[in-house]
């Protein structure tokens, strides 16, 4: 339980967000956990970003998934249960469900309840023969799936390539939690290895303003849900490219000095101070396979697109 600046108690998921945001914003460098980008507004913005021509990760991975769908179907077999982590708008799952042989159940795990329920309702209409189970949960932790997965053909699915949004140590922990969630299952997971600076800038700093709006929404969300008083217009969205390890960092940079309030604390900013809101790590297949192995997974097979950037990896426990 936490309190806002008036001393009113904040409970539940808002209390978790307030606690995590305060911890990050009172540290140096300042940060906000990337999972708080994903409320209903953020999820809708990201879905629109995925239709943007320069945002290659989603489009490229979807093309790869479509190209290998028969291979996936052959390896999974009929009547499978699919468990998707971070299902969002459930766009890529359609390609997978269409490829599988009479899939039995789809379990969608996402942190944004309203967005999750809306996506599931549409999928129920489009796939009436498949049992649909929404699970609103933080999928970065071990998730209790309201379904006995033992004795079933189960395929975990984590496209994105969202694994890059974790720091490597946190990615290993996520993979360990996913192994506990899924049990003795297969796990199809995407990675991106793009290193071309121009391409990364086009994708992650979208000139149409959608990516900026996506990241700035986290401050607006703190205003809405935690009674903060951030002036969203005082911040610019920017990205920074790094090597060793290869990654893209998204930052919100203060234009002018200001003092804001969150919970019972004042948070000062100097002009140029930045908040890290998200990171996208870029993996070679070899690096990701080493990471998966450290979390107890074995690489059964992997596929790579023609330019050697997007990869899909089939892991087994």
Same domain? For 161 and 231 the reply is no
Per-residue pLDDT band at 144 (split at 50, 70, 90): very high
Quick one: 296 and 260 in the same domain? Answer: no
Instruction: Assess whether 120 and 245 both reside in one domain.
Output: no
Q: Do 268 and 306 lie in a common domain?
A: no
Same domain, residue pair 76 and 13: no
C-beta separation of 317 from 297 below 8 A: yes
Whether 23 and 126 share a structural domain: no
Residue 41 lies in a domain: no
Q: What is the DSSP letter of 29?
A: S
- Per residue in 19-67, pLDDT (tens digit) is 999 999 999 999 999 999 999 899 899 989 988 888 999 889 999 999 9
Whether residue 275 is found in the same domain as residue 152? no
47 belongs to a structural domain? no
Q: Both 271 and 134 in a single domain?
A: no
Instruction: Please tell me the total count of domains within the chain.
Output: 2
Q: CA 189 to CA 179: how far, in whole Å?
A: 13
Residues 68, 156: one domain? Answer: yes
Tell me, yes or no, whether 271 lies in a domain. Answer: yes
Range of the domain at 96: 56-194+283-316
| Closest among 107, 94, 90, 89 to 42, alpha carbons compared | 89
Residue 298 within a domain: yes
Digit-coded pLDDT (tens) for 173-210 = 999 999 999 988 999 999 999 999 999 999 999 878 99
61 and 85 inside one domain: yes
* C-alpha torsion angle, residues 263, 268, 272, 273 (rounded to 10): -50
CA distance 253 to 273: 6
Tokens in use for 200?
């990364």
**198 CA to centre of own chain:** 23
pTM of this structure: 0.90
Confidence of residue 88 (pLDDT cuts 50, 70, 90): confident
- Residues 6 or more apart in contact with residue 221 via CB below 8 angstroms: 17, 36, 39, 41, 42
Q: What is the CATH classification number for the domain harbouring 104?
A: 3.40.50.150
More confident residue, 55 or 87: 55
Answer whether residue 18 is part of any domain.
yes
183 contact partners, CB below 8 Å, separation of at least 6 = 149, 150, 154, 317
Are 15 and 67 in the same domain? no
Asked if residue 203 is part of any domain, the answer here is no
Spatial separation of the C-alpha atoms in residues 218 and 232, rounded to whole Å: 9
Residues in contact with 57: Cβ distance below 8 Å, sequence separation at least 6, in sequence order: 160, 161, 192, 194, 203, 310
Kindly state whether residues 233 and 148 are assigned to the same domain: no
239 occurs within a structural domain: yes
CA distance 195 to 200: 7
């Amino acid at each position: 339980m936490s309190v806002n600046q008036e001393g009113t108690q904040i409970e539940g998921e808002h209390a978790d967000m307030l606690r995590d945001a305060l911890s990050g914003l009172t540290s140096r460098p300042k940060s906000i956990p990337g999972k708080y980008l994903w409320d209903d507004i953020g999820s809708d913005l990201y879905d629109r970003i995925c239709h943007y021509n320069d945002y290659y990760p989603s489009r490229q991975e979807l093309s790869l998934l479509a190209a290998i769908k028969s291979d996936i179907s052959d390896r999974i077999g009929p009547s499978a249960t699919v468990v998707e982590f971070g299902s969002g708008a459930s766009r890529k799952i359609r390609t997978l469900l269409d490829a599988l042989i009479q899939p039995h159940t789809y379990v969608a795990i996402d942190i944004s309840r309203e967005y999750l329920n809306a996506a599931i309702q549409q999928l129920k209409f489009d796939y009436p023969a498949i049992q649909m189970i929404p699970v609103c949960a933080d999928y970065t932790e071990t998730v209790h799936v309201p379904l006995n997965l033992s004795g079933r053909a189960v395929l975990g699915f984590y496209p994105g390539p969202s694994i890059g949004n974790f720091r490597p140590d946190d990615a290993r922990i996520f993979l360990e939690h996913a192994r506990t969630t899924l049990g003795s299952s297969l796990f199809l997971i995407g990675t991106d290895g793009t290193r071309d600076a121009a391409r990364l800038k086009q994708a992650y700093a979208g000139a149409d303003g959608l990516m900026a709006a996506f990241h700035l929404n986290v401050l607006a969300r703190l205003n809405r849900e935690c009674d903060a008083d951030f002036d969203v217009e005082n911040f610019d969205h920017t990205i920074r490219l790094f090597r060793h390890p290869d990654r893209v960092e998204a930052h919100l940079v203060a234009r002018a000095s200001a003092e804001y309030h969150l919970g019972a604390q004042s948070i000062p900013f100097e002009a140029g101070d930045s908040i890290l809101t998200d990171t996208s790590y870029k993996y070679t297949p070899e690096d990701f396979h080493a990471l998966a192995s450290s979390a107890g997974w074995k690489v059964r097979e992997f596929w790579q697109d023609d330019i050697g950037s997007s990869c899909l990896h089939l892991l087994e426990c």
